[in-house]
Amino acid sequence: MSNRISSGMIFNQSLNTMLGKQATISHLQQQLSTGQRIVSAADDPVAAGTAVSLDRTVAALARFGDNANNVQNRLNLQENSLSQAGDLMARVKDLTVEANSSALTTPDRKAIAAELKTLHDSLLSLSNSTDGSGRYLFGGTADDAAPFAVVSGNVVYSGNQTQRSVEVAPDTKVSDTLPGSEIFMRVPTGDGTVDAHAAASNTGTGLLLDFSRDGSSATAWNGGSYNVVFTAATTYEVRDSSGTVVNTGTYAAGESIGLPGLKMRVDGAPAAGDSFQIGPSTTKDVFSTISNLVDLLNTDPITPTAKAALQNGLQSSMRDITQASSKMIDARAAGGAQLAAIDNATDLRAANDVTLKTTLSSLRDLDYAQAISQYQLEQSALKAAQTIFTQMQKMSLFDRL
């Protein structure tokens, strides 16, 4: 038994073949015009889904790059500000050394005080530096208002203590600028561990030369404070914070005074009742250090006692200035480490970006040579189908009669 194929079936089959070829050619035209192998997700669902995920990752890398640029700008501006602040502090230190000269007159010291006041104001201005977009560099995360202001003659800090953390690459974060409180306000006094000073009420001419921890002491320092009180011009008592006498001794100018785990040297001629305090370092803001120095230099020391007080004050100021300068150097080093981390993150992002885009290209970029060859083949097939269809339309049994 033979199957009979109607003319209608042949017609429909030929028509469907041509329509299929036209659809294929249209799809190839879209691929060639866009350069994309995947015109719609239906072309390759797995590859299309993977490409979408990779696109999101590439976009995230771009956002990380924006984050890195923003924080890099702020850290560079912090470096510029702290570099200028360091130059100011170097000048403050030079002026303090100059002010300690016995050859200076009262007008000379007042001129130095005037320059120090200018340096104080310049440092205050630097502490309120912005990043160019209205955000303050040294306010912590409260960077929408100036963090430093003068209140009742003293500089106060109104920012917070929080340092912003910024993601600059996958699983890589860097720290934004330091809060100003860490740089300008919480400056250790003395040598950073121990501090000492002459009492303001001293009437003799005793000068505090130096002090430190004493590793050779039979008794370790317990972190407490002590008061060296002169009971006479040549004798002293060492008292702890409760007033208990823990040691006594005979004074010799320039020789070390023994304390539990600490040592101190005093020169000059202390009077009975004079005292020198020593204990753990505290913190002090750099603005107060400079302001106190200005006030000290605006005095007119005439008596030997007043001159000794001036020298003791200048030595104390010099120690605090050194600590403030070290704080700024430490802040610059911390900022430099973050800038180096940003550079490393930039290299990481660039490498990841190349890898991701290479993978994306392999997933959806078109092989033009293959696509053009396929396009030409499909066009030829369509023309052949059209020719056959036309010829079949002309065929009839009546032609055989």
Q: How many CB atoms lie within 10 A of CB 376?
A: 11
- Written as tens digits, the pLDDT of the chain (401 aa) is 455 555 556 566 656 666 665 656 665 566 555 656 565 555 566 666 676 777 788 888 889 999 999 999 999 999 999 999 999 999 999 999 999 998 899 999 999 999 999 999 999 999 999 999 999 999 999 999 999 999 999 999 999 999 999 999 988 999 999 999 999 999 999 999 999 999 999 999 999 999 999 887 767 899 999 999 999 999 999 999 999 999 999 999 999 998 999 999 999 999 999 999 999 999 999 999 999 999 999 999 999 999 999 999 999 999 999 999 999 999 999 999 999 999 999 898 888 878 877 776 666 655 556 656 665 665 666 566 666 666 665 655 555 55
How far is 58 from 239, CA to CA, in rounded Å?
Answer: 68
Query: pTM for the whole thing?
Result: 0.80
CA–CA–CA angle 245, 248, 251 (5° rounding): 140
Residue extent(s) of CATH 1.20.1330.10 domains in the chain: 36-192+283-365
Phi, psi of 79 (to 5 degrees): -60, -45
**Token pair of 264 as six digits:** 């101190």
What CATH code would you report for 36-192+283-365? 1.20.1330.10
